[in-house]
């Protein structure tokens, strides 16, 4: 039952996040991405702590590892997109 509740929360968070990001105007995308990178960095730390304290529980280890992978992809991708957008504002020689 606990797994079903956690999956329900994850699905609801996914839909809410997609709806929120979809309504952001392009001018605010870069500042929002920077904030998202900071939050994902916190998620990485939390997932590392969860995996480290999981002991013999294989399910926590698997879910924590997946969380680490996705949060890392989000951080790296966010910084790449932010860097690319900031390069658009540099003066060309």
In a structure prediction context, what are the per-residue pLDDT tens digits for the chain, which is 93 residues long? Answer: 777 888 888 889 888 888 877 787 777 766 776 677 777 788 888 888 888 887 788 888 888 889 889 888 888 887 887 788 778 877 777
Reference 70, options 80, 78, 81; nearest CA is 78
* pTM for the full predicted model: 0.60
Domain ranges in the chain? Answer: 26-87
| Residues 82 and 47: beta-carbon distance below 8 Å | no
């Amino acid at each position: 039952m606990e797994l079903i509740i956690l999956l329900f929360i994850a699905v609801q968070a996914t839909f809410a996040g997609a709806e929120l990001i979809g309504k952001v105007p392009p001018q605010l995308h870069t500042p929002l991405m920077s904030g998202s990178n900071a939050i994902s960095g916190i998620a990485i730390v939390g997932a590392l702590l969860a995996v480290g304290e999981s002991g013999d529980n294989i399910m926590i280890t698997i879910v924590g590892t997946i969380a680490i992978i996705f949060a890392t992809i989000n951080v790296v991708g966010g910084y790449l997109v932010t860097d690319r957008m900031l390069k658009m504002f540099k003066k060309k020689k």
